[in-house]
């Protein structure tokens, strides 16, 4: 019956299908659905930029408007990948520009973005609206100036945690007077000064501005003026927040903040004087998102007092300075909490300020809606994890990082197998898991048995033998990304089921027991995978010894074979 519907009707039906997965499924039903789907597809997500080429993307989806691309492997965040490994966006922008595709939105993560790319981007797509760069590098304020100057209908410029080279601030002045379409502007990660007058004028002529995140160098009086001009803000990132609470400037600021009744998300405080936080209290009751993870100046009473005002909080990012007691305050105040991230304020210190298992247990007891966790702590116990698993069966993301990565349960001196086992058994919807602490093969047996929805697993300094890895590969049917470092997994585990890797996005193994020979075997058996060996030290014996242990291996499925842009330190087998 469906065959007799005109294409437009099917298109209309497909329009309401938002998820990438569902649209992919739709395209597989039959030839005519494939055809209709591909012409009507507007948004594409590519989790590994080397899995497909821009040419093939353009050929299949000529109506593309929004593209999301991810480049470097996750462990690049922790300096485990050479800086020149790859992930260049330029070829994508060039191909899209030459194809006539009407790109409107580009979202990039862990990619190398040159000023040249940004300039080409800004000049090639008349309707370009939204640029989001997360953990990218390679560009300077000059590239941003091009985007500001040339993208006449720009709505969103969102720069999150990028390493930006240049420190000159003239880019803000490059937004023409005619640009009034801004909805979101985030330049918190920029280190340089911006033209404050230009910033004020820009905000004044942007009635739709909902999200504004400033960098450290925007002074208080400018902040106050911006807030007066944009009381409609929903999301605010304060750069510098140091003032004398008894001063006139402080009063004016208080008044300006109080006018912003729509703010539900607050972040920044890159510089902060704790006694000034009371000016924020009036808006705390509306906050659903609070990110204080870059504010080491906030701790103790001032911090807990602030949190006590935030009863509607759903997402909290904080430093471990908050302490277990502070987490207790979170537990008793933030009953709607869904996501908690606790970062270390002193990663290599002796951990005076850190949190322990106690804080986590308190939060799990007080916040039953908790479903996403990133927790850096001094120590963890099996008993605590078992309690947390019982209190919060809804975890979708559970990432635990014990600062000493092979630390056992300090009470029993046992590995943390049982604790994590309880988590995977209880949390049936768990999609992402990061392990740490002393762990044997046993925890992987549990993961293989119970973590049926698991898509991403991060392992470090764990396991006793190949069995650990095999339990996971055999048991976790939905596994997409597996990243392993410093574990005793070798060729037996790697080679047991090479077909499995085609069902996954990628596998990373570093400082394990796999050898060059083992990696070569994978490459030979699976032409649909790129098997990359990263060797940053002496490359002399590279070609010879099959028995040589491989320092870093990254393999991923791809439809387009070996990439041509790998540096010398990367060898594609």
Query: Which of the residues 253 through 272 are near other proteins (CB under 8 A)?
Result: 270-271
**569 contributes a contact to other proteins by CB under 8 A:** no
Q: Identify the burial level of 543 via C-beta atoms within 10 angstroms of its C-beta, where 0-12 means exposed, 13-18 middle and 19 or more buried.
A: exposed
Residue choice 100, 347, 547, 561 for contact with other proteins (CB under 8 A) = 347
Residue choice 50, 61, 241, 376 for contact with other proteins (CB under 8 A) = 376
Per DSSP (E only), the strands in 344-402 are: 372-377, 397-402
Retrieve residue 417's tokens.
């197998």
User: Most distant CA pair in the chain: distance in Å?
Assistant: 74
For the window 415-434, what string marks contact with other proteins as x by the rule CB under 8 A? x------------------x
**404 contributes a contact to other proteins by CB under 8 A:** yes
Q: What span, in angstroms and rounded, lies between the C-alpha atoms of 156 and 169?
A: 18
Residue choice 85, 139, 241, 343 for contact with other proteins (CB under 8 A) = 343
Count the alpha carbons within 13 Å of 196 in the hemisphere toward its beta carbon: 13
Q: What span, in angstroms and rounded, lies between the C-alpha atoms of 44 and 36?
A: 15
Q: How far is the CB of 148 from other proteins (least distance, A)?
A: 23
Q: Which residues contact 449 (CB under 8 A, 6 or more apart)?
A: 424, 471, 475
Q: Which residues contact 323 (CB under 8 A, 6 or more apart)?
A: 299, 353, 354, 355, 359
**348 contributes a contact to other proteins by CB under 8 A:** yes
Look at the block and give the residue holding tokens 């930006």. 164
Cβ closest to other proteins, residue 110 vs residue 557: 110
| CA 413 vs CA 385, 400, 435: distances in Å | 15, 18, 17
**461 contributes a contact to other proteins by CB under 8 A:** yes
**545 contributes a contact to other proteins by CB under 8 A:** no
Q: How far is the CB of 168 from other proteins (least distance, A)?
A: 19
**438 contributes a contact to other proteins by CB under 8 A:** yes
Q: How far is the CB of 443 from other proteins (least distance, A)?
A: 12
Q: Which residues contact 275 (CB under 8 A, 6 or more apart)?
A: 245, 302
* H helices present in 427-482, as ranges: 441-450, 466-475
User: Which phi and psi (to 5°) does residue 59 adopt?
Assistant: -60, -40
Q: What span, in angstroms and rounded, lies between the C-alpha atoms of 570 and 42?
A: 34
Residue choice 297, 359, 437, 518 for contact with other proteins (CB under 8 A) = 297
- Contact window for other proteins (CB under 8 A) among 173-181, 332-340, 483-491, 517-525: 483-491
Q: Which residues contact 369 (CB under 8 A, 6 or more apart)?
A: 314, 335, 336, 337, 338, 394
**353 contributes a contact to other proteins by CB under 8 A:** yes
**72 contributes a contact to other proteins by CB under 8 A:** no
Cβ closest to other proteins, residue 182 vs residue 400: 400
Residue choice 159, 283, 392, 401 for contact with other proteins (CB under 8 A) = 401
Which residues face 557 on adjacent strands? 529
Q: How far is the CB of 348 from other proteins (least distance, A)?
A: 5
**515 contributes a contact to other proteins by CB under 8 A:** no
Which residues face 554 on adjacent strands? 508, 532
For the window 108-137, what string marks contact with other proteins as x by the rule CB under 8 A? ---------------------------x--
Q: How far is the CB of 104 from other proteins (least distance, A)?
A: 27
**489 contributes a contact to other proteins by CB under 8 A:** no
**24 contributes a contact to other proteins by CB under 8 A:** no
Q: How far is the CB of 298 from other proteins (least distance, A)?
A: 11
Q: What span, in angstroms and rounded, lies between the C-alpha atoms of 333 and 312?
A: 8
Residue choice 67, 230, 370, 403 for contact with other proteins (CB under 8 A) = 403
**161 contributes a contact to other proteins by CB under 8 A:** yes
396, 432 contact by CB (below 8 A): yes
What is the separation, in whole angstroms, between the first and last Cα of the chain?
49
Cβ closest to other proteins, residue 393 vs residue 405: 405
**506 contributes a contact to other proteins by CB under 8 A:** no
Q: What span, in angstroms and rounded, lies between the C-alpha atoms of 73 and 556?
A: 10
Residues forming the site for other proteins (CB under 8 A): 75, 77-80, 135, 161-163, 189, 270-271, 293-294, 296-297, 299-300, 343-353, 376, 401, 403-408, 413-415, 434, 438, 440, 458, 460-461, 464-465, 485-488, 511, 537, 551
């Amino acid at each position: 019956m469906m065959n007799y519907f005109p294409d437009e009707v099917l298109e209309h039906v497909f329009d309401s299908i938002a998820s990438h997965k569902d649209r992919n499924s739709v395209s597989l039903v039959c030839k005519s659905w494939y055809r209709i789907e591909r012409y009507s597809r507007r948004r594409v997500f590519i989790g590994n930029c080397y899995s497909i080429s821009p040419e093939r993307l353009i050929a299949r989806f000529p109506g593309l408007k929004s593209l999301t691309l991810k480049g470097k492997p996750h462990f690049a965040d922790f300096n485990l990948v050479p800086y020149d490994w790859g992930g260049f966006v330029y070829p994508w922008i060039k191909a899209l520009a030459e194809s006539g595709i009407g790109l409107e939105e580009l979202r990039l993560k862990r990619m190398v973005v040159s000023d040249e790319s940004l300039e080409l981007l800004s000049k090639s797509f008349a309707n370009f609206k939204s640029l989001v760069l997360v953990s990218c590098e390679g560009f300077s304020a000059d590239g941003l100036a091009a985007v500001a100057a040339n993208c006449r209908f720009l709505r969103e410029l969102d720069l999150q945690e990028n390493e930006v080279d240049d420190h000159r601030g003239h880019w803000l002045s490059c937004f023409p007077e005619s640009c009034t379409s801004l909805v979101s502007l985030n330049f918190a990660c920029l280190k340089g000064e911006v033209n404050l007058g230009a910033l004020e004028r820009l905000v004044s002529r942007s009635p739709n501005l909902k999200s504004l995140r400033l960098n450290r160098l925007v002074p208080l009086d400018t902040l106050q003026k911006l807030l007066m001009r944009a009381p409609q803000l929903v999301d605010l990132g304060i750069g510098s927040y140091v003032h004398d609470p008894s001063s006139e400037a402080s009063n004016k600021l208080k008044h300006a903040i109080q006018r912003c009744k729509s703010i539900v998300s607050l972040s920044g405080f890159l510089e902060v004087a704790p006694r000034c936080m009371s000016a924020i209290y009036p808006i705390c009751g509306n906050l659903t998102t609070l990110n204080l993870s870059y504010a080491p100046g906030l701790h103790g009473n001032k911090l807990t007092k602030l949190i006590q005002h935030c009863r509607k909080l759903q997402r909290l990012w904080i430093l471990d300075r908050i302490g277990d007691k502070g987490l207790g305050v979170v537990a008793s105040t933030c009953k709607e909490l869904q996501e908690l991230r606790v970062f270390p304020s002193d990663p290599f210190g002796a951990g005076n300020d850190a949190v322990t298992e106690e804080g986590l247990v308190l939060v799990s007891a007080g916040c039953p809606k908790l479903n996403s966790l990133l927790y850096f702590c001094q120590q963890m116990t099996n008993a605590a994890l078992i309690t947390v698993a019982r209190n919060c069966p809804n975890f979708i993301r559970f990432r635990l990082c014990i600062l000493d990565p092979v630390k056992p349960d300090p009470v029993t001196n046992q590995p943390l197998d049982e604790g994590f086992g309880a988590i995977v058994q209880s949390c049936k919807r768990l999609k992402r898991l990061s392990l740490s602490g002393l762990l044997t093969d046993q925890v992987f047996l549990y993961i293989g048995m119970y973590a049926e929805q698991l898509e991403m697993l991060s392992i470090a300094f764990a396991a006793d033998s190949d069995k650990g890895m095999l339990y996971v590969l055999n048991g976790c049917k939905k596994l997409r990304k597996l990243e392993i470092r410093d574990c005793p997994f070798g060729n037996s585990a790697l080679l047991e089921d090479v077909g499995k890797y085609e069902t996954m996005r990628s596998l990373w193994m570093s400082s394990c027991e796999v050898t060059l020979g083992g990696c070569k075997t994978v490459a030979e058996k699976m032409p649909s995978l790129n098997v990359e060996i990263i060797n940053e030290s002496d490359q002399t014996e590279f070609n010879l010894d099959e028995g040589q242990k491989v320092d870093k291996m990254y393999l991923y499925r791809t439809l387009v074979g070996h990439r041509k842009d790998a540096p010398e330190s990367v060898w594609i087998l």
